[in-house]
């Protein structure tokens, strides 16, 4: 079964997350990602990133990787900490901290995400606190 992991976000840091998650799913299986694509559009106050990766993975494996929030720092570059701080039904609150690369500068980033899970179809997240003004993403399996 093929799983398409797609992300729509507003920062390059999330773009890195999309590729890292797709690569991790691919690494869990003997077959590499079949297709990776991205598009970046710079607005006046935003950077819109659309990224997708199609990997040969079963839905259960893709879902497990996407929802192991406490392990994100193990495979997402420059992410130092990722921790689930609350869970209520399909809503998960995740705090993350690390660095985002802006040109040649590494800027510290702290963000709290509210994640709505829709197993096994995907998840949506949005920043609710922290140093990023606006960040949303959708991952579909």
pLDDT at position 32 is: 52
Which residues constitute the domain of residue 112?
3-140
Query: What string of DSSP letters covers 64-123?
Result: HHHT-GGGGGGTSTTEEEEEEEEEETTEEEEEEEEEEEETTEEEEEEEEEEEEEETTTEE
Region 15-19: what's the mean pLDDT?
A: 44
pLDDT at position 20 is: 47
Q: How far apart are CA 7 and CA 136, in angstroms?
A: 9
pLDDT band with cut points at 50, 70 and 90 for residue 45 = confident
Average pLDDT, the chain: 77
Q: What is the CATH number of the domain that holds 8?
A: 3.30.530
Instruction: Quick: pLDDT tens for 71-118.
Output: 999 988 899 999 999 999 999 999 999 998 777 888 898 999 999 999
Total domains, the chain: 1
pLDDT at position 34 is: 57
Instruction: Quick: pLDDT tens for 106-115.
Output: 889 899 999 9
């Amino acid at each position: 079964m093929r799983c398409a992991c797609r992300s729509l976000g507003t920062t390059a840091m999330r773009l890195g997350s999309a590729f890292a998650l797709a690569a991790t799913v691919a690494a869990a299986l003997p077959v590499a990602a079949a297709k990776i694509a991205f598009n970046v559009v710079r607005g006046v106050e935003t950077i819109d990133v659309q990224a997708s990766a199609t990997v040969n993975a079963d839905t259960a494996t893709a879902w497990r990787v996407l929802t192991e929030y406490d392990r994100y720092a193990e495979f997402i570059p420059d992410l130092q900490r990722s921790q689930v701080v609350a869970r209520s039904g399909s809503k998960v609150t995740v705090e993350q901290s690390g660095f985002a690369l802006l040109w040649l500068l590494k800027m510290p980033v702290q963000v709290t995400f509210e994640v709505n899970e829709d197993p096994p179809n995907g998840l949506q997240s949005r920043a609710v606190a922290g140093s990023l003004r606006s960040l949303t993403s959708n991952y579909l399996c």
